[in-house]
Amino acid sequence: MSALAWLLWLGLSVAVGFLSIWQYRRRETPVRGRMLLAVLRAGAVALVLLLLFDPELPAGDGAARGTQVLLDASLSMRLPADGANTRWQVAVAHARSRTGDRPVLLFGERARAMAAGALPDEAPGDGGTRLLPALQAAAEAGVRNVIVLTDGGIEDADEAARWVPRLGLGIELVRVGSDVTNASLVEASSPQWIEAGQLVPLDFAVAGSIADSARAVVRREGRVIARATVPAPSAGRVAAGRMELRLDAAPSDDGWIRLDVALENGDAVPDDDQRTVYVQVGAEPAGVALVSFRPDWEPRFLAPLLERSLGLPLRAYLRSATGRYVRLASGLDAGGVVDEADVRRAVERGQLVVLHGLGIDAPAWARAAARTAAHVLIFPADDATAADLPAQIGASVEGDYFLAPEVPPSPVAALLAGVELAGTRPLTGLRPVDMPAGAWTPLMATRGRQGALMPLVAAGEGGGRRWAIALGSGYWQWAFRGGAERQLYARLWSALAGWLAREGDIASLPPVRPARMAAPRGAPVPWVTPAVASDSIHVVVSDEGGGTVMDTVITVARGDTAFTTAPPPGHYSYRARAFSGYNVITGEGLLTVERYSPEFARSSVDVARLESGATTVRGAGSARSGTPLHASPYAYALIVLLLAAEWILRRRWGLR
């Protein structure tokens, strides 16, 4: 710490001391030992100020000049280095010879210390290589020099290079292993639903070192069903290819088929030469058809929510002021002009129909869908009072409509239990409704917090159909604001959509499932329950032989998602149960943990700038000479002791 910083701290400490003395002499009851109490308080505050300035504590020669070994623990360290030894084995032998009495600091996805004698025979297999957290940990410990043992595939090398001058570390980089000739299958994808017997495109991409071309094959149950060749990609680029294949119906009831895509060209890293794609073969579900005749922000938030919660394909359209229909989607599909006949066909085939902005100007086929669709959700327009809807509604009355704190009895009440309703932004309008016999509402609202209770949504069933009518205006503002209100928006419409789609032969993904059927290697597996708010999920994962490899109960971390650790790479089946109060939602299916990891394909970076940056700092005399104060437990212990002593003595001497 500079002399100016010490003077500033000293001045502030003196000011705090005078303030403490004044407090006890002028504002406290005269008792014995007032000066001692003032000194104790001033000392505690001065130590807090010193922590903010964070000087370095002098250390002994061994600690200040010690060397810390940093060892790369990523997946790429499992590759061969020389002869029969892997990069990890070579690096471990080097670390044990250089570390002395200090533990080795492993770095990968996170930094952690381990005794040299306890290092495993095989690399831990982290899916990333982040060096900066380990450098920061070494600097915090007062280390002046570090030895970095790595194969060079550091993903945060640029960030680490910017931090090195501030950390004041001397760095010796030891490169383990050399670059290998490696091609990677970095991508493989196909449509999720495929109609049996039709040609289906499967896109793939290859990167890495390839002599002239790469051949990719697709296998189903070990049998090659397609093959394609792509030219070698240029440096830093990928070569994309496409195969078209014809798939028969799957023998399983759910229609899922596993396709294994692999490169035929052998190389030194076979794990990143294969990917897995899951395809559901059969009659593609018509899914959800959403049409907005008077677009606002509501479809923007509602469409992706319905697609995610139901696991069904979504076809969403917006009608422009000129009467043309455009597609509501993401990526290249967004904004495409669509014929009205195609929109009508999607609505007629849709297993769940959502009609937004339905008014007197809606086409006849849309009004017919509101009367006859088996599963329909309607957002009426302002002039829809005369429309033939499942329930008679009135004109929207403007005002602030706040949600009532109680959740009324309904088929979805259990799914809304525990949702935070207090403090929710009010709706800007609400329609009165003549509720038919047997109709219900998921939530109630009052005007200005004091009016009569009014339904927020009207829903019911009869005649072999289920329907729901949104009576409010401005639901989308809940999703826009985020936080608890976004959770309310997701819970409300996911619960209603799940209830609407529960009857009949609607095919969808399991209500409890992994977010991806082909999970990345080494990364936590997210499990989702998009149609229900659960507090815990019981997951049982079995291998291909039927043996249980995971049986655990996990709590929901955020929203509708919980995480488990990933099992070893392989093909599995799962059974999952989500618990929401007294309700239990089940799901089962297939899960693959891929052998591929981008860590294998990460090229070595030029880390010489780390050493040069460290040399510059050391030459300037800026290297650390000890341990920073905030890393020492003694300062915090002394602050606690001073404050505790003041508190105890105040009570013993009659002060409150």
CATH number at residue 523: 2.60.40.10
Distance CA 345, CA 336 (A): 17
Task: Kindly report, residue by residue over 583-604, the tens digit of the pLDDT.
Answer: 777 888 899 999 998 888 777 7
Q: Could you give the CA distance from residue 297 to residue 318 in angstroms, rounded to a whole number? A: 11
User: How many DSSP H helices and E strands does the chain contain?
Assistant: 15, 40
Q: Kindly state whether residue 621 falls inside one of the protein's structural domains.
A: no
Q: Last residue of a domain, which of 481, 502, 523?
A: 502
471: CATH: 3.40.50.880
**Within a 10 A sphere around the Cβ of 226, how many other Cβ atoms?**
17
72 shares its domain with 32: no
Does residue 249 contact residue 194 with C-beta atoms inside 8 Å? no
- Amino acid of residue 537: I
In a domain, 574, yes or no: yes
- Rounded to an integer, the average pLDDT of 501-518 is 68
Note whether 390 and 247 are same-domain residues. Answer: no
Q: 306 and 390: one domain?
A: yes
Q: Where are the alpha helices (DSSP H) in 350-464?
A: 364-372, 413-416
Yes or no: say if 352 and 310 are a contact pair by the CB < 8 Å rule. Answer: yes
With respect to residue 491, please indicate whether it lies within any of the assigned structural domains. Answer: yes
Mean of the per-residue pLDDT values for the chain? 84
pLDDT of 6 above 80: yes
Whole-number Å distance between alpha carbons of 7 and 14: 11
Is residue 48 domain-shared with residue 66, that is, in the same domain? Answer: no
Predicted confidence at residue 608, as pLDDT, reads 66
Alpha-carbon distance of 366 to 356, in angstroms, equals: 10
Contact between 427 and 471 under an 8 Å Cβ cutoff? The reply is no
- Quote the tokens at residue 148: 């970095």
Q: Which residues are paired to 546 by β-bridges? A: none
Count the helix, strand and coil residues of the chain and give each as a percent rounded to the nearest 5: 30, 35, 35
Position 616 in a domain: no
Kindly state whether residues 351 and 459 are assigned to the same domain: yes
For residue 614, is pLDDT > 80?
no
Opening angle at CA 349, ends 258 and 198, nearest 5: 35
Would the pLDDT of 127 be above 80?
yes
Q: Are residues 322 and 403 in the same domain?
A: yes
Sequence-ordered list of residues with C-beta below 8 angstroms from that of 437, at least 6 positions apart, any chain: none
Quick check: 340 and 362 in contact, CB under 8 A?
no
302 belongs to a structural domain: yes
Q: What is the pLDDT of residue 620?
A: 36
Sign of the alpha-carbon dihedral angle for 333, 336, 342, 346: positive
The DSSP call for residue 126 is: B
Tell me how far apart the alpha carbons of residues 484 and 486 are, in angstroms, rounded to a whole number: 5
Q: Which domain holds residue 97?
A: 61-179
Among 502, 533, 557, the domain-final residue is 502
Q: In terms of domains, do 375 and 401 share one?
A: yes
Q: What is the pTM of this model?
A: 0.64
Lowest mean pLDDT among 78-92, 200-214, 327-341, 432-446: 327-341
Residue 619 in domain: no
CATH code for the domain in which residue 251 is found: 2.60.40
Residue pair 183/206 in contact (Cβ under 8 Å)? The answer is yes
Distance CA 444, CA 244 (A): 53
Domains in the chain, number? 5
Q: What is the largest CA-CA distance in the chain?
A: 95
Give yes or no for a contact between 511 and 498, defined as CB atoms under 8 angstroms apart.
yes
Residue-wise pLDDT for 454-498, tens only, equals: 999 999 988 778 999 999 888 988 888 878 888 888 889 888 988
Among the candidates 502, 524, 548, a domain finishes at 502
Distance CA 242, CA 240 (A): 7
258, β-bridge pairs: 278
pLDDT of residue 558: 62
pLDDT for 216 beyond 50: yes
Per-residue pLDDT, averaged over 300-315, amounts to 84
Q: Looking at the structure, do residues 586 and 524 belong to the same domain, yes or no?
A: yes
Statement to judge: residues 421 and 466 lie in one domain: yes
Examine residue 320 and state whether it is found in any structural domain, yes or no: yes
Q: Residue 149's domain is classified under what CATH number?
A: 3.40.50.410
581 lies in the same domain as 444? no
Residues 453 and 328 placed together within one structural domain of the fold: yes
Query: CB–CB of 190/602 below 8 Å?
Result: no
Instruction: Please check whether residues 256 and 235 belong to one and the same domain.
Output: yes
Query: What distance, in Å, lies between the first and last C-alpha atoms of the chain?
Result: 39
Q: Evaluate whether residue 620 is within a structural domain.
A: no
Which whole number is the average pLDDT over 63-73?
A: 76
- Rounded CA-CA distance 569/589 in Å is 17
